Structure 1
Amino acid sequence: MDYCYLSKYVAGIYRRSKNEVNQRLGCLDLRATESDLLLFIDEHPQAKQQEIAQEMMLDPSLLARDLKALAQKKYIRRQCDGDDRRVKRINLTKLGQKQVCQLRQMMNEWWVQFFAENDLDIEQFGAILQQVYTKMLK
């Protein structure tokens, strides 16, 4: 196997899943990275902006732009940290929580349908991806 294709495969999987899920979520007015951010923030309440950038492997300036857009849409709020006023903690608003519920449901439906149509083992695939992701964070 030519290992150079691994990046191609991962990128292709990401783009295809995001494009198809985004078509279903057109009513939510979210871009792909914004939807990923909402899911991450839901799983990591009170996360610092720097932590989000590191764990999601995002450029801090691009993250700031996307967080600003989500705040303008009233999906998140930034709050100053009690110990260091320069640090911002990120949380979902009620509207953001509602969006996450819809987003999670639609993404789950897409993946279940994809794996059913393609006769693939979703548990095995998920476990391998989780292992790779965890190793990359180290």
Structure 2
Amino acid sequence: MDIVRIGKFIGALHRRFQTAMNREITLPDINGTNANFLLFISEHDRVTAKQITTELAINKGLVSREMTRLEKAGYTTRTPDDTDHRTTWVSITPQGLAACKTIRQVKQSLWDQVLEDTPEADIETVFTELETWSNRAKKFDQSK
């Protein structure tokens, strides 16, 4: 087996989804990248930009720019921590929650098209393996 092809397929799948998301999402100031940020924020009570950077494996400059864009558009708020002024908490707004509903619908529609004939058990197996591999790959972050 040519193991390098796995990375090629994962990368191509990601890029194609980003392109499709950019085309399908019609929300103001939302694109395929910051849509993922918004979904991540919606899944947590509040997060820091560093957590987004770490969990989504995105560089901090891009996260900072997109956090500013999302806040200006009214999808998120940033609040300094009362005890540690170096920390800023990012929270989702009601407008952001509504946007997440639309984003999830678009993502579901795209995945339904890609996985249309794939048995549920196979999808579950792939999900479990990808989650395991992703967790193992986090050790690469520590080598910086």
TM-score higher than 0.5 here? yes
Corresponding position: 1:94 with 2:97: no
Q: In the alignment, what sits opposite 1:131?
A: 132
TM-score (norm 2): 0.85
Distance in 1 of aligned mates of 2:26 and 2:134: 28
Structure 1 range deviating more: 85-94 or 18-27: 18-27
Q: Which runs of 5+ in 2 are unaligned?
A: 140-144
- 1:12 corresponds in structure 2 to 12
**Once the 2 structures are TM-superposed, how far is the Cα of residue 135 of structure 1 from its aligned partner?**
1.7
Q: 1:34 to 1:94 in 2, by over 3 A?
A: same
Q: CA deviation at 1:101?
A: 0.8
User: Given that residues 18 and 33 in structure 2 are in contact (C-alpha distance below 8 angstroms), is that contact kept between their aligned partners in structure 1?
Assistant: no
User: Is 1:35 matched up with 2:61?
Assistant: no
Using the TM superposition, give the Cα deviation of residue 25 of structure 1 relative to its aligned residue in structure 2, in angstroms. Answer: 1.2
**Offset of 1:28 from its aligned partner?**
4.6
Contact 1:28 1:99 in 2 (8 A): no
Tell me the distance in 1 between the aligned counterparts of 2:113 and 2:5: 25
Please state whether the residue corresponding to 1:37 is helix, strand or coil: helix
Residue 82 of structure 1: SS of its match in structure 2? coil
d(CA) in 2 for partners of 1:3 and 1:35?
A: 30
Paired position in structure 2 for 1:119:
118
- Measured in 1, the distance between the counterparts of 2:37 and 2:87 equals 18
The more displaced of 66-75 and 43-52 is 43-52
Residue pair 1:21, 1:107 contacting (<8 A) in 2 also: yes
Partner Cα separation in structure 1 for residue 26 and residue 46 of structure 2: 28
C-alpha separation in 2, matches of 1:94 and 1:102: 13
Report SS of the residue matched to 1:86: coil
TM-score by length of 1: 0.88
1:119 is matched by which residue type in structure 2? Answer: T
Instruction: Report the aligned-residue RMSD.
Output: 1.7
Q: Secondary structure at the match of 2:90?
A: strand
Gaps of 5+ in 1: none
Equivalent pairs: percent with the same residue? 26
Deviation track 1:24-75 (CA, whole Å, cap 9, x = no partner) reads 2134542221011001101122111112111111111221011111111111
Give the Cα–Cα distance (whole angstroms) in 1 for the partners of residues 28 and 136 of structure 2.
33
Query: Which residue identity does 2:8 align to in structure 1?
Result: K
Cα deviation, residue 103, structure 1: 0.5
